[in-house]
Amino acid sequence: MVLARFLPRDERFFDFFGQAAQNSAEVAHALYDLLENYSNVEDKAQRVRNLERQGDEITHRIFNALYSTFVTPLDREDIADLASRLDDFVDAIEEATRRIKLYRIDQPTEPARRLARIIDQQARLIASMVPLLESRKQWDKLLQCSIEINRLEGEADEILDRALAGQFDGVSDIADLTRAIRWGEIYQHLEDAADRAEDLADTLERIVVKNA
C-alpha cells in the first residue's frame, strides 16, 4: 500500500529486541557462572528459569505489538523470525541448565565449561549486535559480529566432537556408564545452544542483506 510509506513506523520493536538480546546475555552468563562456580546449583538454575520466563514475556510483547501495529520498521515475517530466534536461543540454554540440575552432576567437566564460555561469548556479541539493527551505518559492524558468532559455533562443534569421542573412556561399571550417557546429553544441549546463537546471527545477517 502506497499510503503506508508515509505513515509513522512503530519503532518500539527495536527496544523489544534490545531487551530480549540483553536478557539472553544474562541467561548465558548465568549458565557460565553455574559451570565455572559450581555451587548453589538449585538457586542458579532457578535464576536461569526466571530469566527464561522474562524472555517469554518479551517475546509475547513483540508478537502482541506485531498483531496491533499497522506500519512496522521491518517486514513482519522478519520481526517474527528474529523474535523466535532470540527465544529459541534462551530456551536452549535453559534446557541445558535443566539437565545439569536434573542429573545432579558432581562437578562440571572441562568440555562443558568451555562450551558455556563460548555460549557466553556468543550471547555478549548478540547483545551488542542487535541494537545495531536500527542504524544502517552500523550494519557492517553487525555483520562482523555475525561472522564471529559463526566462528565460535564452529569451535563448539569441535569441542563436542572431542568430548563425544572420549565420552566412554574409563567407563568400568553401570554408574560410570550412566554418568557418561548423561554428560553426552548435556554436551548436546550445550552445543545446541551454540547452534541457536548461529541461527540468530544468520537471521540478523539475512535481514541486513535484505534491507541493504
In a domain, 80, yes or no: yes
In a domain, 100, yes or no: yes
What pLDDT does 11 receive? 64
In a domain, 123, yes or no: yes
What pLDDT does 76 receive? 92
Instruction: Count structural domains, the chain.
Output: 1
- pLDDT of 5 > 50? The answer is no
Range of the domain at 115: 10-211
C-alpha 91/C-alpha 95 separation (Å) is: 6
The burial class, CB within 10 Å (0-12 / 13-18 / 19+), for 1 is: exposed
Decide if 73 contacts 13 (C-beta within 8 A): yes
In a domain, 115, yes or no: yes
What separation in angstroms does the CA of 82 have from each of 130, 156, 176, 185?
10, 22, 41, 27
CATH of the domain at 199: 1.20.58.220
In a domain, 27, yes or no: yes
**pLDDT tens for each residue of 95-139:** 999 999 999 999 999 999 999 999 999 999 999 999 999 888 999
In a domain, 5, yes or no: no
In a domain, 3, yes or no: no
In a domain, 4, yes or no: no
